[in-house]
């Protein structure tokens, strides 16, 4: 028969075990997300402004969880923060997301949470001699955010492969200059300096094309054969498994924001302008968002072909067999490509 002392020690050990289990399953007390510049991040703007993550955290019983937002200029910077543990949800172009998916397989296991938008990206120039990419010379310089790893980098490499053969896919890489979209736009429109072209996205390309002498050289949709996912959100499976309720709250906030934008783009445009998204009018932003080529959706579009090209040229070591390989299961019941 156990003594009272033995019984108390057993009870204390049991309570300690319960306490340790509680710690093991406790979710983060702060969730950290990042956004970038442009109307492609509209869902994130809305999630922040309407406190949608907080709303879904509260539904999950995590009302005390703090939600922190930051802004970066390129997906590569978001990747650095994600790998260091200073970020839980990264956002940016598909290029940086896929590169991290490739590098973290078997450890952090980075995958997509959902797409944000399909938008045409344009290579534009002020050089009147440049009509196609074949006209670019070593005297031209192309500004692009995250040059070398960005989504625009891969678009250009795909276009070059079609023109010069896949073995020459890096032929125009020396012309790339890494600049955030706003800075690249200012450099292009200044009319001075080495930057005479830019590979960018809405709304920056829209602003540029309003200026005299700026013309379009290449449209990413022509490269991809149609509408293509440009931006997405990604995270680590390590975070997802340790914080299932928090992960689901962010996922559901994205779903709600996407539905809200498509239901009322005018309100989304108003919010974008109010949040300092640009100096343009609400009507102008609304017009950009209403372009039939622009699609706000969490479902990836033509992303598999994009990823498989990256594998073909060696940017990715691993070749995805289906788009679902690139995203967490929460999205797998959606249509995608």
Confidence band of 13 (pLDDT split at 50, 70, 90): very low
- The per-residue pLDDT for 38 is 80
Nearest to 201 by CA among 229, 165, 166, 163: 229
136-167, pLDDT tens digit by residue? Answer: 999 999 999 888 878 899 999 999 999 999 99
Higher pLDDT, residue 36 or 258 = 258
Predicted pLDDT at 113: 98
Mean pLDDT of 123-133: 97
240: tokens are 């997802």
**Considering Cα of 318, then 324, then 330, then 335, what sign does the dihedral take?**
positive
Quick one: pLDDT at residue 21? 39
Burial class (CB in 10 A: 0-12, 13-18, 19+), 330: middle
Contacts of 85 (CB under 8 A, 6+ apart): none
Residues whose CB falls within 8 Å of the CB of residue 74, separated by 6 or more in sequence, listed in order = 36, 92, 96, 145, 146, 150, 178, 180
Q: Which two tokens stand for residue 145?
A: 């955010």
- Average pLDDT score, the chain: 89
State the pLDDT at residue 150. Answer: 84
Q: What is the pLDDT of residues 221-268, one digit of tens each?
A: 999 999 999 899 999 999 999 999 999 999 999 999 999 999 999 999
**More confident position, 80 or 190:** 190
Mean pLDDT of all residues in 23-51: 87
pLDDT at residue 87 in the model: 93
- Cβ partners under 8 Å of residue 71, min gap 6: 34, 35, 36, 37
Q: Tell me the mean pLDDT in the region 32-42.
A: 87
- Are the C-beta atoms of residues 35 and 71 closer than 8 Å to each other? yes
Confidence of residue 79 (pLDDT cuts 50, 70, 90): confident
Q: Which of 42, 61, 93 is nearest to 265 (CA)?
A: 42
CA distance 37 to 58: 28
Please give the residue that has the higher pLDDT: either 69 or 23: 69
Please give the pLDDT value at position 264. 97
Token pair in block for residue 274: 């109010």
In whole angstroms, give the CA distance from residue 258 to residue 293: 16
CA 24 to chain CA centroid, Å, is 30
CA distance 158 to 160: 5
> Any residues with CB less than 8 A from the CB of 294 and at least 6 apart, and which?
117, 118, 119, 120, 202, 288
Contact 334, 232 (CB under 8 A): no
Beta strands in the chain, from DSSP E residues, in sequence order: 30-35, 66-71, 90-93, 110-118, 122-125, 142-144, 176-178, 197-200, 215-219, 229-236, 295-296
Model pTM score = 0.84
Q: To the nearest whole percent, how much of the chain has pLDDT over 90?
A: 74
* Rounded distance between C-alpha atoms, residue 206 and residue 119, angstroms: 12
pLDDT recorded at residue 278: 61
- Per-residue pLDDT, 81: 84
* Ordered structural domains, the chain, with CATH: 26-119+228-331 (3.40.190.10), 122-224 (3.40.190.10)
Q: What is the C-alpha to C-alpha distance for residues 170 and 317, in angstroms, rounded to an integer?
A: 17
Bridge partners, residue 231, by sequence? 93, 117
The values of phi and psi at residue 177, to 5°, are -130, 120
Average pLDDT over residues 2-26: 44
Q: Is the dihedral of CA 152, 260, 242, 329 positive or negative?
A: negative
């Amino acid at each position: 028969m156990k003594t009272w002392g033995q019984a108390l020690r057993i009870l204390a050990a049991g309570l300690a075990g319960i306490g340790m289990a509680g710690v093991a399953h406790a979710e983060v007390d702060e969730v950290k997300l990042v956004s970038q510049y442009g109307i492609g991040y509209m869902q994130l703007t809305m999630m922040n402004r309407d406190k949608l993550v907080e709303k879904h955290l509260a539904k999950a019983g995590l009302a005390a969880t703090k939600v922190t937002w930051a802004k970066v200029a390129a997906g590569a910077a978001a990747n650095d923060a994600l790998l260091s543990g200073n970020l839980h949800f990264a956002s940016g172009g598909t290029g940086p997301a896929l590169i991290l998916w490739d590098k973290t397989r078997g450890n952090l296991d980075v995958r997509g949470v959902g797409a944000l938008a399909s938008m045409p990206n344009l290579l534009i120039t002020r050089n009147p001699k440049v009509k196609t990419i074949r006209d670019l010379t070593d005297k031209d310089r192309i500004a692009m955010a995250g040059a070398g790893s960005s989504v625009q980098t891969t678009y250009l490499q795909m276009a070059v492969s079609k023109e010069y053969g896949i073995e020459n896919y890096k032929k125009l890489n020396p012309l790339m200059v890494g600049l955030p979209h706003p800075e690249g736009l200012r450099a292009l429109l200044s009319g001075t300096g080495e930057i005479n072209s830019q590979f960018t996205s809405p709304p920056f390309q829209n602003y540029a094309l309003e200026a005299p002498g700026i013309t379009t050289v290449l449209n990413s949709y022509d490269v991809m054969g149609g509408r293509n996912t440009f931006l997405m959100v990604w995270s680590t499976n390590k975070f997802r498994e340790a914080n299932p309720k928090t992960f689901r709250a962010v996922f559901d906030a994205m779903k709600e924001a996407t539905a809200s934008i498509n239901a009322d783009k005018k309100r989304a445009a108003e919010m974008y302008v109010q949040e300092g998204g640009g100096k343009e009018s609400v009507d102008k932003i609304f017009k950009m968002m209403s372009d039939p080529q622009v699609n706000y959706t969490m479902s990836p579009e033509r992303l598999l072909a994009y990823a498989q090209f990256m594998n073909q040229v060696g940017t990715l070591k691993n070749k995805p067999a289906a788009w679902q390989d690139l995203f967490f299961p929460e999205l797998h019941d959606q249509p995608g490509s």
